[in-house]
Structure 1
Amino acid sequence: MPTDRPYAALAMSPQAAAAVFDRGAMAALRKVCEVAPSPVLDDFGTPRAREVLARVDVLVTGWGCPPVDEAVLQAAPRLKAIVHTAGSVRGHVTDACWARGIEVTSAAAANALPVAEYTVAMILLSGKRVLERAMDYREKRRPEPSLSTPKDVGNFGRTVGILSASLIGRRVAELLRPYDLRLLLHDPSLSEEEAAVLGVQPVGLRELFTRSDVVTVHTPLLPDTRGVVSRELLGMMRPDSVLINTSRGAVVDQDALVQEAGRIRVILDVTDPEVLPPDHPLWDNSDVLITPNLAGSQGNEFGRLANTAIAELDRWVSGAGFAHPVRKDRLGFLA
């Protein structure tokens, strides 16, 4: 930690800076540290960036931040900390940062909340079949008799399977605890004590998919998780069960999903690629709901990210250390 007022620079795209740091957030940031004047750093190779890097103690990073590699670190001899205003730091915090002992924090916990809220909303809406029944109501202009609603409609006693005890997966479990649901969770790293605290039943991967009425995917995209929701697992899901994916599109075997959609219902906030081609068959499947990456922080929720980053920086400046430190060996939990 620097002994005097630290010098910080925003390193992200101009669009991210404008979204996360409004006038009030910038004023709060300047109370904690001296901030390099605009424009923000979105290219570390420019002469101006080199001038800023030579002075900087802290990089406040966000979406669009270039990799902080060995060359950047050589240009930033005073750099001691990276405060990230979004979730995963894998895109810009390189091995060179860990080797140099740069302290890192992330607003992943803050960004986990809206993702978890979106997930809970979709679980409850899908249980009541709200979207399908609203479309039917619009078409027919008359309601269905409530007493003749099929017994498979509703949320009482449904089984929800959570894939991964990541930050978001744990937050989903916490938010679902008050409801009359059975919660299953698959994560080999989850201890029995942690499962008891979360109120979930730990199960194997196959059991998660065979027992659940809803499977919600929260595993980060790593080399060993690419396609982990395989054709075999999708085929094990009960007819008319629901798959929700808010993590990364490539975690799910999307070709297999095309074949299974219709037998199961699907809610995707992420796809692979991020925007599907216009003629992709998932667009026209009435049993598939695709939203444009809405789950993460948006609109006024960006304020939570700024507040978290500023609070972390304030702790660091005071000598208290980060409340949400990121360590290399825990990167797999930031999803």
Structure 2
Amino acid sequence: MRYKVFVTRSIPESARKKLEALYAVEMWDSENTPVPRGILETKIEEIDGLYCLLTETIDEELLSRSKNLKVVSNMAVGYNNIDITAASKRRISVTNTPGVLTETTADLTFSLLMATARRIVEASDYLREGQWQTWSPMQLTGQDIFGATIGIIGMGRIGEAVAKRAKGFDMRVLYHNRSRKPEVENHLGIEYADLQSLLKEADYVCVMTPLTPETKGLIGKDELSLMKNSAILINTARGGIVDENALYEALVDGTIWAAGLDVFDQEPVDLNHPLLTLPNVTTLPHIGSASIKTRTTMAELAAENLIEVLEGRTCKNVINSEPQRRV
């Protein structure tokens, strides 16, 4: 009897065909609408493999409904949407897609930094709205990037890739990480700093750390107060790492100069969110890895991860490596 697999969103054909060649696959065929929770609750009772996105909350209550589920394959690097403890307790393997989106996300991070610093979106709107009447010396002036100091919080793969781009702009690179990385310091010519020193010295603070219980709310009122009033905060990691209320207040009262955000605590972000009212905030709809090549590769890797677990092969991308497989 073929395994049953449920895919929670329309995925690239190449990834779908990998699954359909082996299993009975049902897919929630929508590009822009998440699968309703009720449908997911029904499907999980009968499937062997779940292929999901960050938009799905795979919690204890949902997993408790499963009877045959062996693997949850998350098409993402992060997995804060999944209760790993609950999955492990039921010997359900959880996989992710690391590595393949590193360079693409680093490109987006640096693009967002540049767009925020030079007020690109604001300037484009200024022109399109017919406000450009003349040239003036201080019109839409922004912050310099070349030769500035960047502070990177979280020196994983993406953090390292951002550091490489920053060195191309002759920037001084500071980083803060759970553990120091001397080999990366030597290779890239970057400096380790404690969090307070990084916040005080950096012209650009880039949040690149995973969202965990330890990092939730890591950047709050106290941390923002340490930053320069000319500094810019960039977050392309997870929204919950930054206290959005504190960030709004810091931007309004001039504690910091601007922010560039690809992520929010609640996604999609409410259009009435206070941060969306500010001209010194550049916002994006969580597109860090959104290149055609990278998203296709992610989708294929998520399919391969699911297949490896169901076929009883060793999968290097299992997060909770102990369960490997429920029999």
**TM-score normalised over the length of structure 2:** 0.76
* CA contact 2:116–2:259 (8 Å) conserved in 1: no
Structure 1 pair 179–30 and aligned structure 2 pair: CA distance change class (3 A)? farther
Instruction: List per-residue Cα deviations over 1:88-123 (Å, max 9, x = no partner).
Output: 333234423223544332024445554332211022
Decide which of 225, 228, 249 is 1:238's aligned counterpart: 228
Asked if structure 2 preserves the Cα contact closer than 8 Å seen for 1:6 and 1:317, the reply is: no
Deviations 1:238-286 (A, max 9, x none): 2222111223333223333233215311222233454246273x33332
Code of the residue aligned with 1:278 in structure 2: it is N
Distance 1:199 1:105, change over 3 A: farther
Match in the other structure for 2:64: 71
Whether the 8 Å contact between 2:80 and 2:212 is mirrored in structure 1 is no
- C-alpha distance in structure 1 between counterparts of 2:7 and 2:284, whole Å: 28
Q: How much does 1:164 deviate?
A: 1.6
Number of residue pairs matched? Answer: 307
Partner of 2:32: none
Highest RCO, 1 vs 2 (Cα 8 Å, sep ≥ 6): 2
Instruction: Please tell me whether the aligned partners of residues 44 and 72 of structure 1 are also in contact (alpha carbons under 8 angstroms).
Output: no
Q: Please report how far the alpha carbon of residue 204 of structure 1 lies from its aligned counterpart in structure 2 after TM superposition.
A: 0.6
2:261 aligned with 1:268, yes or no?
A: yes
Q: Tell me which amino acid in the other structure corresponds to 1:140.
A: W
Change (3 A) 1:234 1:71: closer
User: How far is the alpha carbon of 1:314 from its aligned partner?
Assistant: 5.6
Alignment partners' CA distance in 1, 2:281 and 2:205: 14
Contact 1:183 1:200 in 2 (8 A): yes
CA distance in 2, matches of 1:211, 1:34: 54
Pick from 36, 39, 56 the counterpart of residue 25 of structure 2.
36
Q: Structure 1 residues 64, 256: closer, same or farther in 2, change over 3 A?
A: closer
1:107 aligns with 2:97: yes
Tell me, what secondary structure is at the counterpart of 1:185?
strand
SS of the residue corresponding to residue 312 of structure 1 reads helix
- Given that 1:44 and 1:66 are in contact with CA atoms closer than 8 Å, whether structure 2 keeps it comes out as no
Q: Report the counterpart of residue 140 of structure 1 in structure 2.
A: 132
**Corresponding position of 1:284:** 277
Matched residues in 1 for 2:28 and 2:140: separation? 58
1:61 to 29, 42, 52: 52
What percent identity do the matched residue pairs reach?
A: 23
Whether 2:290 is the aligned partner of 1:294: answer no
Measured against aligned partners, the alpha-carbon deviations of 1:283-330 in whole angstroms (never above 9, x if no partner) come to: 33322223333335477753232122234346557876324332479x
Any gaps of 5 or more consecutive residues in structure 2? 30-34, 323-327
Question: Which of 2, 6, 23 lines up with 1:10 in the alignment?
Answer: 6
- Give the SS at the match of 2:282: strand
Q: Distance in 1 between matches of 2:191 and 2:28?
A: 50
- Give the letter aligned to residue 321 of structure 1: T
**1:1-28: CA deviations, max 9, x gaps?**
xxxx97250242xxxx21xx23333223
Q: TM-score, normalised by structure 1?
A: 0.74
